[in-house]
Amino acid sequence: MAVIFWDAEGLVHLEWFNSTTKRRGLTGDLYVEMLGRMYESLNDRSPEKVKRGILILQDNAHCRKTSAVSAKMRDLELKTLDHPPYSPDLAPSDFYLFRGLKQFLEGRKNDDQEELDGLVRTYFRSKPASFFKEGIDLLRTKMERTIESEGRYLEE
């Protein structure tokens, strides 16, 4: 499973993890570690972005709502944009970023983790910055439409 951080200019950080019998998915502690690595990666590549401040939109999964995650967000001075519960219309990774990736990977057999990682990174590197900006702009549009529709699901 992958955790992807992205912004209007492209991929910020991509990290894979495996579920185990002891850990069935992403935990708060693992997410705390990933936030730290994402922050370091972004600070190395674009310290000016870090200085301006980082605003993160994340879903309401339990692992992202733990006290350890909240503490890490405060330590790194990361701000969050609240994500309404049960609002897949407002998850840009779902409605925008992953749609093309799914099509790109369709029909490919990816038993090897390194090969899959390479394919995913190749896909995102092939996208112009305008692709990512469009995804962020669509989020604004979808948020406005959701407010206008009083929270009802949006028709595509």
Higher pLDDT, 2 or 145: 2
| Plot region of 107 (φ>0 → left; ψ -120 to 50 → alpha; else → beta) | left
pLDDT of the residue at 109: 77
Task: Give strand pairing partners of 3.
Answer: 15
Categorize the per-residue pLDDT at 147 as very low, low, confident or very high, splitting at 50, 70 and 90: confident
Query: What phi, psi does 66 have (nearest 5°)?
Result: -75, 160
Q: Look up residue 109 and give its two tokens.
A: 């057999």
pLDDT of the residue at 43: 95
CATH architecture designation of domain 2-148: 2-Layer Sandwich (3.30)
Tell me the average pLDDT of the chain.
85
Q: What is the pLDDT of residues 91-123, one digit of tens each?
A: 767 777 888 898 999 888 777 888 899 999 999
Distance CA 68, CA 154 (A): 34
Q: What is the percent of the chain with per-residue pLDDT over 90, rounded to a whole number? A: 40
Domain ranges for the chain, please list them: 2-148
Q: What is the pLDDT of residues 56-96, one digit of tens each?
A: 888 777 788 899 999 999 999 999 877 766 666 667 677 77
